[in-house]
């Protein structure tokens, strides 16, 4: 028996900011969930199950927060699952929810991801002082910066590419009312002049720390037929994992990322992603990851990704826009960041992305990764059901 | 084989909590010696209050002032109180249904011994002398044989409400790095770097993990690597990290020791930071009593060819 097609009929986000001191964790997730229900013109009674995700519990220090969030998400008396795959969790949470619909286990599922980074310190949560081990000598950017240098060496990319990405994403964010950073006076010169923190990563090429949540209502064909607005349809979705460190690991273009993308394209019948996909929301926490992931995802050949960025192809008006919403570089509630990518892809094919809408977007990729390039999750959504 | 290393590991952090309207009223109430519950749509009173109705999922905010006396619904005796618990002498953990409430609150009951505690017994709140707007404003409960207290509707509005709290969290572990890393660490004390070779893919893991993450099989064959190695990639750190007494800028590098199957991380010294490059040949510099090399410095050899280390970035 074939899979049930999966439709996105409701999307809700909080207005992402550095600190939401006015709401509890429950109040934060509630806000995104309510907006998704409103978008779908549905009520709590229409939801059969809830699947939520967030990054490590140490980020807020609430162990298994899903237990206490059941009331806020209308999950009492219903199945509730929590997914945990580090920074990719927002994407894999959506895929677990989608699989429940595809397998006809549930008709309509609420999926939600969140992070309230202001309640803790993610850097602390990721660098506990383990006895006998040598401490990490460099902070978060210090983990990623050497991989970026490796990419620059391998591809021969000019040094300005990272700044171009940051300048583009921060300008895109100005068109997205939910984005955290709204830098109205952004210029390329300002990005280039920002302090070099972990050379080759400048301050303006790093993501912020945000409080926020994102929710989606996923449903079957019957649910989609009742949708008041055009649904987005899942055309393919996949997850892949590999160890964070192993002999032969390619940090510049991890095998798990390549395999994950290939699986999504196979499901969706995509043979030339660069031509057949109209835009992508890619998890780019440091600017240089745009060209790196363009290659990893098959949008460009090895060593060629930076040329798309440099030529303006990934600009909002380019022919493969990337991170139309402003991306992770403008908004990073870690656990929610992957789901925001997935949701923004769906908004595009529904024609509901507002000022950052890409005209005529019919197929858009949502991508997430996390855990030091350990976990990958992706989906491709379209404006028509998979069998049409 | 020498004993496996062990050491205490304490993880602690002062997490902050934004309370939202209902928890803010509840905790501010405790500061003012008032206990608030919330009314659900089906007329029950929940104490402690919640923001969303557990049956209908509606937002709820009708606050009710419940009694300071109540009834124990169940309990467990705590023979040995631990650090951070409400009382430092043995006490009972109790669930107390306060008069006017439909649910029970978890807290401590100060009683001489387990024979003095029973389900159904009447108890009352003992307030802490200093109250800040936290659950610890209730010092504990104590046995009560007097009048019941009264219950009234409450607006839940206070001067200077508590909007956030700090939740100090602490976990005490005993950490052991395991058999393979113990051998690695012991070898380091003799300034030797010893990894383990995978019997299947033949890669040498430094530090060893006792298993190959690619092949999924145990490793045992010890292989000494280094001491020299190659800088495969690096970054220049320009911001001072907390708890690190290193002058910036400095170079943080991935270093593939000769014979190792993957790079480890270290600081590069003995050369201006802006002259460090991929392919630079380096060797460890030890300081007395340190477990790890302090940094790595150039050996003076010609740079390694990119093709010799491009798989080891």
Q: Over the stretch A266-275, which tens digit does the pLDDT of each residue have?
A: 999 999 999 9
Q: What is the pLDDT of residue A142?
A: 84
For residue A29, which residues of chain B lie inside 8 Å, CB to CB?
A: none
Of the partner residues B20, B54, B55, the one whose CB lies closest to the CB of residue A27: B20
**Residue contact A251–B163, C-beta within 8 A:** no
Residues of B in Cβ contact (< 8 Å) with A70: 54
The per-residue pLDDT of chain A, averaged, comes to 95
d(CA A63, CA B97): 26
Examine residue A61 and state whether it is found in any structural domain, yes or no: yes
Lowest mean pLDDT among A102-116, A120-134, B294-308: A120-134
At which of B131, B151, B170 does a domain end? B170
Q: How confident is the model at residue A134 (pLDDT cuts 50, 70, 90)?
A: confident
Mean pLDDT of chain B: 94
Q: How far apart are CA A339 and CA A347, in angstroms?
A: 12
Please write the tens of the pLDDT for every residue from B169-212: 888 999 999 999 999 999 999 999 999 999 999 999 999 999 99
- Domain hosting A222: range is 7-120+208-382
Residues B102 and B63 in one domain: yes
Whether B32 is in a domain gets the answer yes
Mean pLDDT value across residues B71-93: 96
Residues of B in contact with A251 (CB under 8 A): 313
Does residue B182 lie within any of the structural domains? yes
In a domain, A387, yes or no: no
B160 shares its domain with B216: no
Give B130→chain A minimum CA distance, Å: 25
A142 or B132, which is more confident? B132
Global pTM?
0.96
Asked if residue A17 belongs to a domain, the reply is yes
Q: Which of B170, B194, B218 is the last residue of a domain?
A: B170
Q: Which residues of A touch B52 (CB under 8 A)?
A: 26, 30, 71-72, 74
Residue A358 counted as domain residue: yes
Name chain B contacts of A141, Cβ cutoff 8 Å. Answer: 235
A177 at interface of B, judged by CB pairs closer than 8 A:
no
**Which tens digits make up the pLDDT trace of A284-314?**
999 999 999 999 999 999 999 999 999 999 9
In this structure, are B95 and B64 located in the same domain? yes
Count of all residues that appear for chain B in the document: 313
B145 and B294 together in one domain: no
Report the chain B residue with the minimal C-alpha distance to residue A23: B20
Domain holding B268, by residue range, is 178-309
Q: Do B238 and A197 touch (CB under 8 A)?
A: yes
User: What would the two tokens of residue A31 be?
Assistant: 């806000």
Cα B57 to Cα B196: distance, rounded to the nearest angstrom: 56
Instruction: Tell me, yes or no, whether B166 and B182 share the same domain.
Output: no
Find the mean pLDDT for residues B77-94: 96
Rg (CA), chain B: 31
The first and second tokens of residue B139, run together, are 């010092």
Q: Which residue of chain A is at minimal alpha-carbon distance from B19?
A: A24
Q: Which of B136-150, B249-263, B280-294 comes out lowest in average pLDDT?
A: B136-150
Report helix, strand or coil for A96. helix
Domain contains A140: no
Residues B30 and B151 in one domain: yes
A331: in domain: yes
Q: How far is A348 from chain B (nearest CA, A)?
A: 31
pLDDT at B91: 98
Per-residue pLDDT band for B76 (boundaries 50, 70, 90) equals very high
Is the CB of B249 less than 8 angstroms away from the CB of A199? yes
Confidence at residue B1, expressed as pLDDT on a 0 to 100 scale: 53
Chain A residues whose beta carbon lies within 8 Å of the beta carbon of residue B18: 19-24, 116, 118-119
Task: Give the nearest partner residue to A197 out of B203, B204, B239, using CB atoms.
Answer: B239
Which pLDDT belongs to residue A262?
A: 98
Same domain, B161 and B260: no
Phi, psi at residue B201, to the nearest 5°? -90, -10
Determine, yes or no, domain membership for A168. Answer: no
Give the pLDDT confidence score for residue A253 in this predicted structure: 97
Measure in Å the smallest separation between the Cα of B235 and chain A Cα atoms: 5
**228-247 of A, contacting B, C-beta below 8 A:** 243, 245-247
Residues of A in contact with B53 (CB under 8 A): 71
Structure confidence at residue B57 as a pLDDT band (50, 70, 90):
very high
B139 within 8 A of B127, measured Cβ to Cβ: yes
Q: Is the ipTM of this complex over 0.90?
A: yes
pLDDT in tens, A30-52: 999 999 999 999 999 999 999 99
For B235, the closest of A129, A130, A198 (CB atoms) is A198
Is residue B1 included in any domain, yes or no? no
Domain boundary among B112, B144, B170: B170
In a 13 Å sphere around the CA of B255, the CA atoms on its Cβ side amount to 28
pLDDT digits 0-9 by tens, A7-29: 999 999 999 999 999 999 999 99
CB contacts under 8 A, A 291-330 vs B, are: none
| Whole-Å CA distances, A148 to A9, A83, A127, A253 | 38, 29, 21, 11
Q: Return the bridge partners of B218, or none.
A: B211
Q: How confident is the model at residue A1 (pLDDT cuts 50, 70, 90)?
A: low
Chain A with chain B: Cβ pairs closer than 8 A? 177
Question: Do β-strands B264-268 and B250-257 pair in parallel, antiparallel, or remain unpaired?
Answer: antiparallel
The answer to whether A357 and A351 are in contact (CB under 8 A) is: yes
What are the phi and psi torsion angles at A300 (to 5°)? -145, 155
Nearest-CA residue of chain A relative to B16? Answer: A119
Distance from CA of B65 to the nearest CA of A (A): 22
- Whether the CB-CB separation of A341 and A93 falls below 8 Å is answered with no
Q: What's the mean pLDDT in B116-131?
A: 97
In a domain, A164, yes or no: no
Q: Are B20 and B166 found together in one domain? A: yes
β-partners of residue B43 are none
CATH number for the domain harbouring residue A270: 3.40.47.10
Confidence of residue B2 (pLDDT cuts 50, 70, 90): low
For residue range A77-87, what is the model confidence (pLDDT) as tens digits?
999 999 999 99
CB B140 within 8 A of CB B109: yes
Residues B161 and B187 in one domain: no
Task: Mark whether B163 and B183 lie in a shared domain.
Answer: no
Are B163 and B206 part of one and the same domain? no
Residue B2 lies in a domain: no
Whole-angstrom Cα Rg for chain A? 19
Per residue in B145-157, pLDDT (tens digit) is 887 776 666 777 8
**Residue A130's pLDDT band (cuts 50, 70, 90):** confident
CA gap A173, A310 in Å, rounded: 19
Helices (H), A156-207: 161-173, 188-193
The count of domains in chain A is: 1
Burial A337-369, CB ≥16 within 10 A → b, else e: bbbbbbbbbbbbbbbebeebbbeebbbbbbbbb
On whether residue B46 sits in a domain, the answer given is yes
* Interface contact A248-B19, CB threshold 8 A: no
Domain count, chain B: 2
Chain A neighbors of B177, CB-CB under 8 A: 131-133
In a domain, B4, yes or no: no
- The DSSP call for residue B218 is B
Residue B283 resides in a domain: yes
pLDDT over 60 at A146, yes or no: yes
């Amino acid at each position: 028996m074939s899979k049930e097609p999966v439709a996105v009929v409701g999307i809700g986000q909080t207005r992402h900011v550095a600190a939401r001191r006015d709401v509890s964790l429950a109040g934060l997730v509630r806000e995104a969930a309510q907006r998704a229900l409103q978008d779908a013109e549905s009520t709590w009674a229409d939801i059969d199950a809830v699947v939520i995700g967030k990054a490590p519990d140490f980020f807020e220090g609430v162990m298994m927060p899903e237990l206490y969030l059941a009331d806020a998400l209308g999950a009492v008396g219903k199945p509730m699952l929590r997914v945990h795959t580090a920074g990719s969790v927002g994407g894999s949470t959506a895929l677990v929810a989608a699989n429940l619909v595809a397998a006809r286990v549930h008709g309509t599922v609420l999926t939600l991801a969140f992070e309230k980074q202001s309640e803790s310190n993610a850097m602390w949560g990721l660098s506990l002082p383990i006895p006998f081990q040598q401490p990490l000598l460099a902070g978060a950017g210090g983990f990623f910066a050497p991989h970026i240098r490796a990419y620059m060496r391998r591809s021969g990319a000019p040094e300005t590419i990272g700044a171009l990405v940051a300048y583009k994403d921060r300008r895109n964010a100005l068109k997205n009312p939910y984005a955290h950073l709204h830098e109205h006076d952004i210029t390329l010169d300002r990005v280039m002049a920002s302090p070099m923190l972990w050379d080759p990563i400048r301050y303006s090429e790093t993501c912020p720390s945000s409080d926020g949540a994102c929710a989606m209502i996923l449903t079957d064909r019957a649910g989609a037929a009742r949708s008041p607005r055009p649904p987005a349809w899942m055309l393919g979705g996949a997850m892949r994992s590999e160890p964070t460190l192993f002999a032969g690991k390619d940090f510049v273009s991890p095998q798990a990322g390549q395999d994950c993308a290939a699986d999504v394209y196979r499901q969706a019948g995509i043979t030339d992603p660069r031509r057949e996909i109209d835009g992508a929301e890619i998890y780019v926490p440091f600017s240089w990851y745009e060209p790196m992931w363009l290659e990893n995802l098959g949008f460009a050949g090895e060593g060629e990704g930076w040329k798309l960025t440099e030529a303006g192809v990934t600009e909002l008006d380019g022919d493969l826009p990337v991170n139309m919403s402003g991306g992770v570089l403008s908004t990073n509630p870690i656990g929610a960041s992957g789901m925001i990518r997935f949701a923004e892809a769906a908004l595009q094919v529904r024609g509901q992305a507002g000022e950052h809408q890409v005209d005529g977007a019919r197929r858009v990729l949502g991508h997430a990764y996390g855990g030091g390039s350990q976990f990958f999750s992706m989906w491709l959504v379209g404006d028509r059901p998979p069998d049409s | 084989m020498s004993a496996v290393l062990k050491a205490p590991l304490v993880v602690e952090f002062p997490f902050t909590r934004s309370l939202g309207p209902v928890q803010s009223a509840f905790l501010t109430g405790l500061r003012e010696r008032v206990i608030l519950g919330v009314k659900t749509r089906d007329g029950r009173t929940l104490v402690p209050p919640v923001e969303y109705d557990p049956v209908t999922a509606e937002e709820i905010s009708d606050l009710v002032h419940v009694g300071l006396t109540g009834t124990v619904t169940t309990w467990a005796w705590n023979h040995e109180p631990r650090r951070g618990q409400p009382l430092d002498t043995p006490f009972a953990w109790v669930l107390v249904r306060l008069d006017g409430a439909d649910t029970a609150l978890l807290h401590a009951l100060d009683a001489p011994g387990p024979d003095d505690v029973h389900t159904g017994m009447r108890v009352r709140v003992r307030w802490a002398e200093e109250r800040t707007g936290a659950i610890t404003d209730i010092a504990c409960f104590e046995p009560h044989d007097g009048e019941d207290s009264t219950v009234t509707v409450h607006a839940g509005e206070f001067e200077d409400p508590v909007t956030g709290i700090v939740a100090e969290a602490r976990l005490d572990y005993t950490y052991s790095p395991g058999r393979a890393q113990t051998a690695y660490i012991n070898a380091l004390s003799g300034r030797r770097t010893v990894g383990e070779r995978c019997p299947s893919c033949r890669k040498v893991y430094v530090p060893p993990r006792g298993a190959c993450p690619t092949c999924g099989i145990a490793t045992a064959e010890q292989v000494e690597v280094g001491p020299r190695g190659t800088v495969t990639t690096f970054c220049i750190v320009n911001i001072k990290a907390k708890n690190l007494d290193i002058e910036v800028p400095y170079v943080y590098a991935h270093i593939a020791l000769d014979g190792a199957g993957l790079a480890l991380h270290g600081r590069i010294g003995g050369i201006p930071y802006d002259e460090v490059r991929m392919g630079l040949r380096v060797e460890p510099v030890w300081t007395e009593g340190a477990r790890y090399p302090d940094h790595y410095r150039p050996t003076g050899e010609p740079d390694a060819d990119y093709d010799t280390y491009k798989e080891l970035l």
